[in-house]
Structure 1
Amino acid sequence: MTRRAVVVTAVAAEAEAVRVSGDWHVIAGGVGPAAAAAAAADALARGSYDLVISAGIGGGFAEVAPVGSLVVADEIVAADLGAETPDGFVPVTGLGFGTVRHEPPRELANAAAEATGAVLGTILTVSTVTGSAARAETLRRAHPRAAAEAMEGFGVAEAAARAGVPVLEIRAISNPVGPRDREAWRIKDALTALTAAFEVLPAALRS
């Protein structure tokens, strides 16, 4: 059976890159977790779907996911949702409420990674893109399995969880996580990789 999926990207260029996925509904929901959550929730309220996918380009932790590669999340984590304390950052769960983690269905994540040749790992959702080696190292220490960072996955996952619909996240790596060098980003190559992934995903995720 073909899954009825809604794919949420941040911007129009990403949406165009994934529209090869046939009958799947694709929306450019905006940048950041709040916009992504609102867009995903609106789509889920208006239509009947059995899968939500957060997709787009992102930064990769170079030793795990180099530029040009793909990452499929087996864990979607809000990396900066919490509080700064004298002892360092505490996630919101450490304050006694909320959640910072969603886990896509293992079978779907494995199938997506195998079909696309993607790395399977944690994708971090951040509200501020990493721009220094120090921040990248802090994230690596806090999240040893981190493969990529982006800005929308956790928001999409929150909306999916509230609707009782499974979620996936897939990112094509356009730049390494670390010092910001906009001239070195390979956005076109990442979008091409994203298109190639979505050409095979529908068949791979049939139930």
Structure 2
Amino acid sequence: MKAKYLIVSATHSEVANLIEQEGQTILKNHLYSIWDKVHILITGVGQVNTTYSLMRYFMDYDKPDNLINVGICGSFSNKYTPGTIVQVCKETAANQLVEQDGRWLTWANIGLIDKTNRTITPTTPHWAENIAIPRVAGLTVDFLTDDYSFIQKRKEFFQCQVETMEGAAVFTIAMREKIPVLQIRSISNYVEQRDKKHWSIEEAKKELHIFASQKLKPLITKKT
């Protein structure tokens, strides 16, 4: 059965409440069906796992009409505190860098990709255009660090508000396959020293579930 909406999450724990409380059907390992024509796909963490899982899904079930990427993320800004729900509207892949004479250059700077492709800005589903939450720019990272000087350099160079690990992959696939996509993230921590005692992961997952069940569900079940 082709899904009208495909919800994508890196880990089961980020959407566990949604899966367990919404009358889910297990279609196969890491794939669930909830509501009407809505699938949830658990991809695994990072861009490589996400890309493989999405393309495998497309081969098995065809492309959905809409992609929805949900999960937790880190914040570069004190403006977005743990527990805040944000919509990521554009993404940049942090690993598309060249270091030359101590300076960072993007792949676009040296001609490896077109300059218009440095920031990935896909089409937002029309039914999600009026969601009243903060809209931010995301930075997708593969290399995790708690080195303060490196974090500050990243923050100043890319000028993004949140840090994700899958967003750029989801957005790239959505753009190339011409699928409208919505990315919703819940802030779990500030991007700083990696001391999880100071993170709010459970609060972030709780707020994400509240948003999904109270805000997202009415939007997509109404349109199904």
Bin of the TM-score, shorter chain as denominator length: 0.7 to 0.9
Deviates most, 41-50 or 17-26: 17-26
Work out which of the residue numbers 174, 182, 192 in structure 2 matches 1:168: 182
How far does residue 55 in structure 1 lie from its aligned partner after superposition? Answer: 1.4
How far does residue 93 in structure 1 lie from its aligned partner after superposition? Answer: 1.7
How far does residue 62 in structure 1 lie from its aligned partner after superposition? Answer: 3.4
Report what 1:149 is aligned to: 163
How far does residue 56 in structure 1 lie from its aligned partner after superposition? Answer: 0.7
Report what 1:129 is aligned to: 144
> How many angstroms apart in 2 are the aligned matches of 1:87 and 1:157?
30
Work out which of the residue numbers 22, 46, 57 in structure 1 matches 2:35: 22
Report what 1:111 is aligned to: 130
> How many angstroms apart in 2 are the aligned matches of 1:47 and 1:192?
31
TM-score, structure 1 normalization: 0.85
Deviates most, 11-20 or 46-55: 11-20
How many positions carry a matched residue from both structures? Answer: 200
> How many angstroms apart in 2 are the aligned matches of 1:36 and 1:100?
20
* 1:54 aligned counterpart, secondary structure: strand
Work out which of the residue numbers 47, 54, 62 in structure 1 matches 2:69: 54
> How many angstroms apart in 2 are the aligned matches of 1:108 and 1:129?
34
Higher helix share: 1
**Unaligned stretches of 5+ in structure 1?**
none
TM-score, structure 2 normalization: 0.79
Percent same amino acid at aligned positions? 25
Higher relative contact order (CA 8 A, sep 6+): 1
How far does residue 110 in structure 1 lie from its aligned partner after superposition? Answer: 4.1
* 2:130 aligned counterpart, secondary structure: helix
Report what 2:119 is aligned to: 101
Larger Cα Rg: Structure 1 or Structure 2?
2
> How many angstroms apart in 2 are the aligned matches of 1:191 and 1:37?
23
Change (3 A) 1:108 1:78: farther
Report what 1:159 is aligned to: 173
Offset from partner CA, 1:139-190 (integer Å, 9 cap, x none): 221233x221010011111222221112221111111011211111111111
Report what 1:184 is aligned to: 198
Change (3 A) 1:120 1:94: same
Q: Retained in 1: the 8 A contact 2:86–2:185?
A: yes
Report what 1:139 is aligned to: 154
Matched to 2:119, the amino acid is R
* 1:128 aligned counterpart, secondary structure: coil
